[in-house]
Chains A and B, each alone.
Chain A
Amino acid sequence: MNEHSDLTSTTLGFIYPLFIIYGLYIIFNGHISPGGGFQGGAVLSAMFISKYLILPLLDTPLAKIQTVEKLLLLLIVATPILFLLTRFNTAYAVLNTPYLILMNTLIGFKVACGMSVIFLRFVFYEMQ
């Protein structure tokens, strides 16, 4: 798996954009079709992980990703509390769809960040 393989790198080069489009589609269409934040985030992190197959190099700033992830968690906690508990959802019913899309996006990016951090940490920091 560590040797460079032309076949894998060319194939993954074709598949990469499809990964991104499919992941974003699952995230943004979570409220009309099956799927949602978690599944879309897992697809996006599968993209990061399959990058390891062609180029096993640690060029991702892990510390920054962790900070981003903590900020996203804060937003995930804050958004439903500010929107649902304050009864905004009954007062302004128009805002319901933007709320769903926003929450799905936040959850999706948080899951993508988290799973990539777990995987990269495991691969590069766990020596024999």
Chain B
Amino acid sequence: MLNLTLLALVVFSLFAVQTQKLRHAVIYLGAFSMSIAFVYLLYDAPDVALAEAIIGSSLSTILYLVALQKYKIFTIYICVNDKEIEDAHFFSGEKTLERQLSKFCAREELEPQIIYTVEDVHKLFEHPYAIIVTFDKQYITLYAHPENYKMQAMEQFLLNEKPADTPYRFIQMED
């Protein structure tokens, strides 16, 4: 039992370090605290186990989650040309672009929120957004919000990554 829990400790800590998303890392840390509290219990230290279980898995988890919420959320709309959203979209070229964008967000420590939509671009400008992506035959167009100051870095990043079949076009909107 003790050896199993010690193994779980190693596994949870590796997960917490290796995962891409900070939210997942926080949850893994909570699980790590629970298992280390169990280890303390097996080592005959119930006082320490109580303190570790309460502080590690409830107080600090909630504190980290609140801290993550104070992050700037980076909203990305991806316009789909068809009338309805189908599952097939999630395996096509949009998927590679989405993966690259989330990689960029992880590097810049932003919290990405990616929304697929069928609405018209001009209607989307009224929503709060950071980036709107549209697809047509010649270009993949990325519209950036006037206050979006990450656009330069994102342009660099996307051009350095493996280029897509269609070239990119970057447009910074004005007020």
Contact = CB atoms under 8 A, between A and B. Distances in A.
Direct A–B contact present (CB less than 8 angstroms): yes
Interface of A: 1-2, 26, 34-36, 38-39, 42-43, 45-46, 49-50, 52-53, 115, 119, 122-123, 126-128
Query: Is chain B's binding surface mostly helix, strand, loop or mixed?
Result: helix
Nearest to B65: A1
Contact of B50 (A34, A52, A119): A34
Nearest to A118: B63
A39 B65 contact: no
B147 to A, nearest CB: 14
Interface of A is mostly: helix
Contact of B51 (A42, A119, A122): A42
Given A34-B47, A39-B47, A39-B51, A128 B72 contact: yes
B96 interface: no
B50 A49 contact: no
A39 B54 contact: yes
A36 B50 CA distance: 10
A46 B63 contact: no
Nearest to A53: B62
B23 to A, nearest CB: 11
A42 B59 contact: yes
Interface in B113-158: none
Nearest to A43: B54
